[in-house]
Structure 1
Amino acid sequence: MWQRFRNRTEAGKLLAARLAEYANRPDVLVLGLPRGGVPVAFEVAKALNAPLDVCLVRKLGVPGHKELAMGALAMGGIRVINENVVDWLRIPQETIDQVAAIEMQELNRRNLAYRGNRPLPKVKNHTIILVDDGIATGATIRAAIATLKKQQPRELVVAVPVAAASTCEELQTEVDKLVCVIMPEDLYAIGIWYEDFEQTTDAEVCELLTRQKLLIAND
Structure 2
Amino acid sequence: MKANRRRRPNEQGWIEVMRRFDGAGTTAVEATLRRATAALGLAPSRRVDNGPPRNLPAALDNRPMTSISSQILVEAVLRFDRMTFQDRERLAEEIHARQPNLFFSVLVLQRYGATLEQIEVVLNLLLVFYEAMKISGRAWPIISEDVQERCLRRISARVRFIEGMTQQQQVQATSAAIADHPEQQLLAFVFGKFKEHHLLGIETETQKMLMLAALNLVECIAETAPRTTK
Normalising by structure 2, what TM-score?
0.25
Q: Which has the larger radius of gyration?
A: 2
Higher relative contact order (CA 8 A, sep 6+): 2
Greater share of residues in helix: 2
Normalising by structure 1, what TM-score?
0.25
Greater share of residues in strand: 1
